[in-house]
Structure 1
Amino acid sequence: MNNSYIHKKTKALQFPSLLFVMLLLISSCETDDAQTVATFTDLVIADEFDTEGAPNSSIWTYDIGRGPNGDGWGNQELQYYTDRTENVKVENGFLLITAKEESFEGATYTSARLKTQGLFEQKYGRFEARIRLPYGKGLWPAFWLLGNDCDQNIWPQCGEIDVMEYLGDSPTKVFGSVHGPGYSAGEAETKEYSLPNDRFDTGFHVFGIEWGPEYINYYVDGNLYNQITPDDVSGEWVFDHPFYIIMNVAVGGSFPGSPNEETTFPQTMLVDYVRVYKNNRLN
């Protein structure tokens, strides 16, 4: 693995407040009828990944395996998720989620999927992470939220908020989406963000949302590029209850397709920090 990422990190916020930037940019944002949003300034949880070894067990747990039905988590993904240090660890101030090509428990790839389910869940707020993404056909990293009632209200009724999804063979683009009843999978409400004159696999970028009653705003490096409201979705708005965080690197599946002969392994998603803020009037 290329160790060029190892450096002394500056833990101060890398970008201005998302809300402040949003107010500056809102007049030029491509979305129409932008909402008046709350100010999310109260830091609720932050993982700066400063302790070597396994991720903080008071924040993170894991999904293990090929999915509840053994079908690649409903997406025909090819990896087996583990909690092994080969696939997930904290090192030099970063969380590393590594996809490997290897035979393991009947799968041909391994990776990791971390989640805060049962440990941290929140309704509304600002959720952000600073990440460097991997590269290669068939890689599908994501930073996303899932409704905490999915055991009772089966997906997509519980709701899904994709803060960032990325296809490894399109290194200049990410997607921000929501899934709910009537607008899920290929019918999700989504928008693409293209990085000008740069790539997401060569440096770190901050991906975030600001989520309040009847709106979710999407940002890359403080740039507001998407807003989703109840008027934008073709079904029920289900984003009014707590959600938990998921971070993973999938391999293959219905969205990215399979790796090809040019995809090299291992491939690692590096996470500098994860931070969540709230507004006490809303939370």
Structure 2
Amino acid sequence: MDEQFSAPLDPNRWYIDDTTYGSGNVEEHWYDPDNVVISGGTMKLIAKHETKTGSSGAAPAMSFVSADGVNHASPRTGLPAGSRAYTSGLIDTRNAGIPTYFPLFSKFEMRATIPHGQGLLPAFWLRRKGGASWAEVDIMEYFFNYRPGETKTSLHFPNSIGTNASQQRKFFETPTSGSSGFHTWSMEIRPALENANPLKDPVIFMAKLDGVQSSYYKLTNEQTIRDLHMIDRTTGVAPAAGKSQVWDLAINLAVGGKWVGCPDQQLGFLPIPNRCSRSQALPSGDATTCDMTGLYFANFPATMEVDYVKVWDLGY
């Protein structure tokens, strides 16, 4: 794939989501196709502070009550069914007219600007094709309220290695309200050994930021390796021709939720888990005691601008 965003998105390659993505992570947006704009050779995912309403099935009710049973986001109690307080954009290849998946051993790259500010969560990520198991590769996520100016690469696998197999951060720029520069994030997934045995040999995940290595992980769990190769757990049968199409690709700009804080609540505070964002600890007293150093709220509309997305089949 070499997507330069020089023309309207091909519906056979990309799907422009119209969804709230359920109520995962208690995010406050509704992904609206109108918030995905192709112009001037780039794609803009635009987050807006506006209410969108629809069916209760599309937008389940959400509660802001934390695990201790208290609504720390008071006076807000959550969002009613059928309504969201913000809109934004998400595109993916899984739901395209011709669902597109990429080989396990591939390189994925995006050049983009990402906005700064509490309440925003831009991401460039991979999801494993459906099966007996799952996996997610977050090539780039930005939790501004946790580490301003640092993006994070995360690997999420099931089985004995746990949900968060690896999480590594890298500085990309000094935050400036309302502006950011273009940067390049990539992930290369390849075998650790030549002539690798797909039943057990390790898989390497290596991320780069602006061409410099930013994270490295060697997957050695044999069941997870078999799952990534799409080997059926019951029959032991591998995909035809021995070449598994594993990953779909998604790009989005989320608003609010458990991990990035509310865009219109207490700065430096995560009300759902009830902890300070920078220290990841309970507030000392009330939420106004959380460390707010270097933090500020996101400005709306906020834009994630994508110059290109490229995928290379590494040919193993």
- Identify whether the pair has TM-score above 0.5, normalized to the shorter chain: yes
Give yes or no for contact 1:99–1:251 (8 Å, CA) kept in 2. yes
Scaled by the length of structure 2, what TM-score is found?
Answer: 0.65
- Counterpart of 2:101, as a letter, is E
Give yes or no for contact 2:46–2:301 (8 Å, CA) kept in 1. yes
Scaled by the length of structure 1, what TM-score is found?
Answer: 0.72
Give yes or no for contact 1:159–1:179 (8 Å, CA) kept in 2. yes
Structure 1 pair 184–140 and aligned structure 2 pair: CA distance change class (3 A): farther
The more displaced of 95-104 and 163-172 is 163-172
Q: Say whether residues 1:64 and 2:18 are aligned partners.
A: yes
| Residue in 1 that maps onto 2:28 | 78
In the aligned structure 2, how far is the partner of 1:266 from the partner of 1:147?
32
Correspondence for 2:39 among 91, 96, 101: 91
When Rg is computed on C-alpha atoms for both structures, the one with the higher figure is 2
Give yes or no for contact 2:89–2:252 (8 Å, CA) kept in 1. yes
| Residue in 1 that maps onto 2:180 | 202
Cα deviation 1:19-68 (Å, max 9, x = unaligned)? xxxxxxxxxxxxxxxxxxxxxxxxxx1111112xx42323210332222x
Size of the alignment, in residue pairs? 221
In the aligned structure 2, how far is the partner of 1:166 from the partner of 1:99?
15
Correspondence for 2:137 among 152, 161, 184: 161
Structure 2 spans left out of the alignment, 5+ residues: 54-82, 192-202, 230-243, 266-296
Q: Say whether residues 1:137 and 2:172 are aligned partners.
A: no
| Residue in 1 that maps onto 2:78 | none
In the aligned structure 2, how far is the partner of 1:110 from the partner of 1:188?
31
Correspondence for 2:204 among 196, 215, 220: 215
Aligned residue runs from structure 1 range 162-181, under 5 A = 162-169=138-145, 170-181=147-158
Where relative contact order (Cα < 8 A, 6+ residues apart) is larger, the structure is 1
| Residue in 1 that maps onto 2:80 | none
In the aligned structure 1, how far is the partner of 2:87 from the partner of 2:14?
19
In the aligned structure 1, how far is the partner of 2:303 from the partner of 2:222?
36
Give yes or no for contact 1:180–1:235 (8 Å, CA) kept in 2. no
- Counterpart of 2:136, as a letter, is E
In the aligned structure 2, how far is the partner of 1:263 from the partner of 1:83?
21
Give the secondary-structure state (helix, strand or coil) at the position aligned to 1:101: coil
Structure 1 pair 234–102 and aligned structure 2 pair: CA distance change class (3 A): farther
- Counterpart of 2:259, as a letter, is F
Give the secondary-structure state (helix, strand or coil) at the position aligned to 1:95: strand
Structure 1 spans left out of the alignment, 5+ residues: 1-44
Give yes or no for contact 1:134–1:168 (8 Å, CA) kept in 2. no
Correspondence for 1:245 among 242, 249, 252: 249
Correspondence for 1:192 among 164, 169, 172: 169
Give the secondary-structure state (helix, strand or coil) at the position aligned to 2:16: strand
Query: What is the root-mean-square deviation of aligned Cα atoms in Å?
Result: 2.2
Give the secondary-structure state (helix, strand or coil) at the position aligned to 2:300: coil
